Amino acid sequence: MSENALKVLYRLHNSGYQAYLVGGCVRDALLGKEPKDFDVTTDATPEQIKGLFRNCRLIGRRFRLAHIVFGREIIEVATFRGHHDSSDEGESKISKQSDHGQLLRDNVFGTIEEDAQRRDFTINAMYYNIADHSISDFAGGMQAIKDKSITLIGDPETRYREDPVRMLRAVRFAAKLNMHISDESAEPIKRLAPLMANIPPARLFEEILKLLLSGQGLATYKLLQEFHLFEQLFPQLAPLLLQSGNRENQFVEQVLTNTDNRINTGQRVTPAFIFAAFMWYPLEERCQQLMVEGGLNHFDAFNLALNDVMHRQIQRIMIPKRFSGPIREIWQLQNRLPKRYGRRAYQMLEHPKFRAAYDFLLLRGEIEGGDLLELAQWWTTFQEASEGQRKKMLEALREKEGAPARRPRRHRKKPKPKA
């Protein structure tokens, strides 16, 4: 158990407040898994929490809570949430609801029993009390763990409407914990999936990372498809995946399989690679369209398509600059990897994004075979080759494909002597 979480719990408790661990850490501990982070809940208000901790930041508008910061570890402390009373609604900072039942503000405080009712799934509503080390299970979470059942608390449709992200969370927990979504909780999802359009793209970015980087990305993806949620997140890619077993499907599944393997063996992964892959075929399609219908050359069409596809994607899922830059580079290098003459091959090896671009090419090659696979294999060999072998490879390439026509040297015009 995190020492920092303990410090927070004891500081609250010793100051006369109730203090509980709740959510994922209690659930995961009961499942014998190592908790990813520690969430604390209390009857202290955000301001009272701030008064107790120097290292405290209050965050969130929709859902106000406190972050207690210990270097790289953050302990989230939320005040018990209560029921929404229709008299609170309107333009209040405390509570606000949209026309489709979405809660735009959820800052009504209440008791622990009420708080339990406001949580999403029964397995997430178990509380560990620091005062007596007991666990309170208000919604039948213990039984749900035994039944391996992801079950929403309350009326599923109402709860999904309040916060459509709960649909993504249902899928995430089902895949990550190897459980199933109960029939009643599963039923409304396909129907309500379009409500995802009302979620701010920045929040969806955070959720997407959790969905795809859990180590169970492939299983998660399959559930997202099954529940018609994937098309809400990647509307450009989804139509290309309708025909099962085609190269687009194979590509996406292979990317996720590789990502899962890397995560589960402790290797680094970058979201840029996954996003680059999920937009690659839409990019190729758009590029073709611009060439055929717009009469553009490949270079112009590709650059235009790249901007188009990225622009459309970020309407749904915000992609921060630190990832969108590398995504563009991975794409652009796909056009440079075939051009290996002279010094280019060596310059390519030095490129900071060479590794990602090469991995990307390899994946494309594995799926499409043919010239692409040959090209990827050439790069595999070239990287491992000695200097002498590299020279030979480049010469062979020159003979096979014919050297590019030497550009006649342009003689610089001598500046006219000044009169």
Which tokens hold the place of 369? 């075979």
Task: Determine how many CB atoms are found less than 10 A away from the CB of residue 116.
Answer: 24
With binding defined as CB under 6 A, does residue 119 bind ligand ATP? Answer: yes
CB nearer Mg ion, residue 78 or residue 276: 78
With binding defined as CB under 5 A, does residue 78 bind Mg ion? Answer: no
CB nearer ligand ATP, residue 125 or residue 196: 125
Stretch that binds ligand ATP, among 118-126, 241-249, 282-290, 322-330 (CB under 6 A): 118-126
CB nearer ligand ATP, residue 24 or residue 156: 24
Which tokens hold the place of 194? 């379009």
CB nearer ligand ATP, residue 36 or residue 57: 36
CB nearer ligand ATP, residue 119 or residue 316: 119
User: Could you say which of ligand ATP, Mg ion, none residue 124 binds, taking C-beta under 5 to 8 angstroms by partner kind?
Assistant: ligand ATP
CB nearer ligand ATP, residue 166 or residue 286: 166
How many residues of this chain interact with ligand ATP, rule: CB under 6 A? 13
Yes or no: say if 330 and 278 are a contact pair by the CB < 8 Å rule.
Answer: no
With binding defined as CB under 6 A, does residue 24 bind ligand ATP? Answer: yes
Length of the chain: 419
Site string for ligand ATP, 121-160 (x = CB under 6 A): ---xx-----------------------------------
With binding defined as CB under 5 A, does residue 156 bind Mg ion? Answer: no
Gyration radius (Cα) of the chain, Å: 27
Whole-angstrom distance, CA of residue 336 vs CA of residue 348 = 8
Taking CB under 6 A as the criterion, the residue among 5, 8, 21, 39 binding ligand ATP is 39
Residues with a known catalytic role:
37, 39, 120
Question: What residue type is 225 in one-letter code?
Answer: Q
HSE at residue 264, side-chain half, CA atoms within 13 A, is 12
Pairing state between β 56-59 and 65-70: antiparallel
With binding defined as CB under 6 A, does residue 165 bind ligand ATP? Answer: yes
CB nearer Mg ion, residue 37 or residue 114: 37
Stretch that binds Mg ion, among 22-30, 44-52, 77-85, 210-218 (CB under 5 A): 22-30
CB nearer ligand ATP, residue 128 or residue 331: 128
- Can you count the helices (H) and strands (E) in the chain? 20, 11
> C-alpha distances in angstroms, 93 versus 60, 78, 103, 119, 361?
12, 17, 12, 20, 50
Taking CB positions, which residue lies at the least distance from ligand ATP?
24
Question: What residue type is 110 in one-letter code?
Answer: G
User: Could you say which of Mg ion, ligand ATP, none residue 120 binds, taking C-beta under 5 to 8 angstroms by partner kind?
Assistant: ligand ATP
Which tokens hold the place of 156? 């599923």
> Shortest Cβ distance from residue 194 to ligand ATP (Å)?
18
> Shortest Cβ distance from residue 3 to ligand ATP (Å)?
18
**Closest by Cα among 88, 86, 77, 147 to 115:** 77
Which tokens hold the place of 242? 């309708």
3-state secondary structure 195-213: HHHHCCHHHHHHHHHHHHC
**Closest by Cα among 256, 211, 286 to 363:** 256
User: Could you say which of ligand ATP, Mg ion, none residue 166 binds, taking C-beta under 5 to 8 angstroms by partner kind?
Assistant: ligand ATP
Which tokens hold the place of 82? 């209560």
Q: Give residue 119's Cα distance to chain centre.
A: 22
Reduce the DSSP state of residue 179 to 3 states and report it: coil
Whole-angstrom distance, CA of residue 348 vs CA of residue 340 = 8
With binding defined as CB under 6 A, does residue 115 bind ligand ATP? Answer: no
DSSP state of 16: T
User: Could you say which of ligand ATP, Mg ion, none residue 248 binds, taking C-beta under 5 to 8 angstroms by partner kind?
Assistant: none
Whole-angstrom distance, CA of residue 102 vs CA of residue 166 = 11
With binding defined as CB under 5 A, does residue 207 bind Mg ion? Answer: no
Site string for ligand ATP, 94-113 (x = CB under 6 A): --------------------
Stretch that binds Mg ion, among 13-21, 35-43, 286-294, 338-346 (CB under 5 A): 35-43
With binding defined as CB under 6 A, does residue 8 bind ligand ATP? Answer: no
| Contact set with Mg ion (CB under 5 A) | 24, 37, 39
| Contact set with ligand ATP (CB under 6 A) | 23-24, 36-37, 39, 119-120, 124-125, 163, 165-166, 210
